[in-house]
Amino acid sequence: MKRVLGVALGILTAIGGFLDIGDMVTNAVVGSRFGLSLAWVVVVGVIGICVFAQMSGRVAAVSGRATFELIRERLGPRVAVLNLGASFMINLMTLTAEIGGVALALQLVSSVSYLLWVPFAALAVWLVIWRVKFSVMENVAGLVGLCLIGFAVALFLLNPDWSELGRQAVPGASTGTEKVSTYWFYAVALFGAAMTPYEVFFFSSGAVEEGWTVKDLARSRANVLVGFPLGGLLSLAIAGCAAVVLLPQFISVTALSQVMLPVAMAGGKVLLALIIVGIVAATAGAALETTLSAGYTIAQFLGWPWGKFRPPAQAARFHLLMIICLIVGIGTLMTGVDPIQVTEISVVFSAVALPLTYLPILIVANDPEYMGEHVNGQALNGTALIYLVIILAAALAAIPLLIITGAGR
Amino acid sequence: MPEGGSVRVWRRAVGLILCLGLLCGCSQRAEAMEDLIKALGDAHSAIASSILAIELYEHERSTRAVTETVLRDMAGQIVDVASALESVKIDSDQTQSDRDAALAAVHAGVTAVLASRDELKTHSAVGNIAELESAARQVDSVLAELRGSR
């Protein structure tokens, strides 16, 4: 019974923790401009993150070591530094966007400018990392993040024409007044948002933090294969709400506050309050994950002691690094840069960094020296290779599309 | 090369240069037109969001903080649109006239959104949204005209 409850808790946490500011903003922007015509990208992205996250979790559970440590050991420091550079920079950008997301969500509650909330949000993140147990931190953020189910409730309450939504969701449906290049730019952005690199590093390092072993493989699979797709459905619900309310009025989402309008229309103040709590939890949870991922990647590359399972005094450099990353995030946001723009750019650059993140994971997951009998099967390798081709295409297209479309403007 | 052949080459060169000039001119005009349409689309989006936010607030479906935030965000967006319009390159009388019409409509939108934002801040309510609706109509009309002439 205890085991079943543990699996259920893991799945619920995975659903609540799946969405971050990148998913929310990109899906709302896409829904308001393209309806559900890019829903297929969310499906492709969710399958991709499932493939690589469960691989990454399995590597950690079987070897007892985080993926990044093994990448450095298996592929050498030169290849690992490429992986590190790409992942770390994207992670830092995502961390900045998430802190901005928490601040924007708090502005929705208080109407006080988000800039004033930025330092408090970052301080809260640091305090939680410093003081709160890993499992408590992860479960609370994930479970409260479940409030985002309110988007699915909102979509049902809006009573949309489901057949019309279904027609929009057919791949290749009309892009309306939008250009084809803009459509593909957002396809790459959505893909990048779904497959953000920090998710796999956090997943594998988190497995080490929680002391997973081979016995936990089923739990790890359940978390990923059930939790992530259900989280992906919430992404689609956000796009659906925007498609039903904002698209017909030619309102393009450029601010988080606009994402609230369909929710208020559907469920009034109660649903609005629920969603805002969910956004605070989801962005705060993602801010915690990206801050920890920043520490994990550098510390694992340099061989420093790392992890929340160690007292901070024993992993001082790991904690100092996270503090520096938070300060850089605060500094960036304080320049007045729009957190939504940071988010949009970060998901596109995520797509650029994807090959450097996922190829090494695939190599390590196929090495019998680390994995023993738990190396990838043929079917999984086949799927992963197809995904590497998609990832490479997205990475190569991302920058040209960014330039051609003026970042989707 | 015989003299006739040289003249033909020159004529072709001049023709090519004229064609390129014409193409550049057309492409500049098309680019300016795209910029104007994009800006008006953004202005429409900001005004329509403001109207929707205020209506939801008046029907007690939204909170004051959310409404204030939407109006603040949309005020920032429409002010940016006005600045972007002012920097659109003018290369003909027609573009100048289109830009002026777009600017007038967007300025009406800026005034309406800022007024609504300030009214909500000071009186906790927005008396009427007629000014916003009028600005929206003005923006939509110029937008339709520009799309029609594209």
Closest chain B residue to the Cα of A258, Cα to Cα: B70
pLDDT at res. A370: 87
Mind telling me how many Å the CA of A139 is from chain B's nearest CA? 28
pLDDT at B23 over 60: no
A268 contacts on B by Cβ (under 8 Å)? 60-62
Q: B43 touching A, CB under 8 A?
A: no
Q: A258 touching B, CB under 8 A?
A: yes
φ, ψ (nearest 5 deg) of residue A169? -75, -10
pLDDT at res. B19: 61
CATH class of B29-149: mainly alpha
Q: How far apart are CA A188 and CA A198, in angstroms?
A: 17
Mind telling me how many Å the CA of B97 is from chain A's nearest CA? 24
Of B42, B56, B68, nearest to A264 by CB-CB distance is: B56
A336 contacts on B by Cβ (under 8 Å)? none
**DSSP-derived secondary structure for A22-64:** HHHHHHHHHHHHHTTTTHHHHHHHHHHHHHHHHHHHHHHHHHS
Q: A182 touching B, CB under 8 A?
A: no
B134 vs A67, higher pLDDT: B134
Closest chain B residue to the Cα of A267, Cα to Cα: B61
Give, for all 409 residues of chain A, the pLDDT tens digit: 666 766 666 676 677 567 888 889 999 999 999 999 999 999 999 999 999 988 988 998 998 888 778 888 888 888 888 888 888 888 899 999 999 999 999 999 999 999 999 999 999 999 999 999 988 888 888 888 889 999 999 999 999 999 999 998 887 666 667 888 999 999 999 998 888 878 788 888 888 888 888 888 888 888 888 888 888 999 999 999 999 999 999 999 999 999 999 999 999 999 999 999 999 999 999 999 999 999 998 998 888 999 888 888 899 999 999 999 999 999 999 999 988 888 888 888 888 888 888 888 898 899 998 898 999 999 999 999 999 999 999 999 999 999 999 888 7
Q: B45 touching A, CB under 8 A?
A: yes
pLDDT at B26 over 60: no
Could you tell me how many helices (H) and strands (E) chain A has, helices first? 17, 0
Q: What is the mean pLDDT of chain B?
A: 86
pLDDT at res. B148: 86
Closest chain B residue to the Cα of A272, Cα to Cα: B62
Closest chain A residue to the Cα of B73, Cα to Cα: A255
> pTM of the entire structure?
0.88
- At position A204, the amino acid (one-letter code) is S
Map A146-206 to HEC letters: HHHHHHHHHHHHCCCCHHHHHHHHCCCCCCCCCCHHHHHHHHHHHHHHHCCHHHHHHHHHH
Mean pLDDT over residues B44-68, rounded?
95
Closest chain B residue to the Cα of A107, Cα to Cα: B69
Mind telling me how many Å the CA of B48 is from chain A's nearest CA? 7
**Subunit contact B61:A268, Cβ cutoff 8 A:** yes
> Which A-chain residues 92-121 have CB contacts (< 8 A) with chain B?
107-111
**Subunit contact A254:B73, Cβ cutoff 8 A:** yes
- The rounded percent of chain B whose pLDDT value lies above 70 is 85
Of A261, A268, A272, nearest to B49 by CB-CB distance is: A261
pLDDT at res. A16: 59
pLDDT at res. B63: 95
Closest chain A residue to the Cα of B147, Cα to Cα: A177
**Subunit contact B62:A264, Cβ cutoff 8 A:** yes
Of A109, A252, A265, nearest to B45 by CB-CB distance is: A252
B92 vs B133, higher pLDDT: B133
User: In chain A, what are the domains?
Assistant: 2-405 (1.20.1740.10)
Of B41, B45, B65, nearest to A111 by CB-CB distance is: B65
Mind telling me how many Å the CA of A328 is from chain B's nearest CA? 25
φ, ψ (nearest 5 deg) of residue B127? -55, -60
Of A250, A264, A268, nearest to B45 by CB-CB distance is: A250
CA–CA distances in Å: residue A151 to residues A148, A235, A331: 6, 9, 32
Residue B34's pLDDT band (cuts 50, 70, 90): confident
Q: B49 touching A, CB under 8 A?
A: yes
Mind telling me how many Å the CA of A17 is from chain B's nearest CA? 24
Q: How far apart are CA A298 and CA A293, in angstroms?
A: 9
pLDDT at res. A175: 62
Of A109, A250, A255, nearest to B73 by CB-CB distance is: A255
pLDDT at B110 over 80: yes
**Subunit contact A265:B61, Cβ cutoff 8 A:** yes
Which of B73, B121, B139, B150 is most worth mutating to test chain A (most A CB atoms within 10 A of its CB)? B73
* Secondary element (H or E) of residue A77: helix A67-110
Q: How far apart are CA A48 and CA A193, in angstroms?
A: 12
Which of A32, A107, A108, A258 is most worth mutating to test chain B (most B CB atoms within 10 A of its CB)? A258
For residue B47, give both structure tokens.
């005004």
| Beta carbons of A22 and A343 less than 8 angstroms apart | yes
Q: How far apart are CA A68 and CA A363, in angstroms?
A: 12
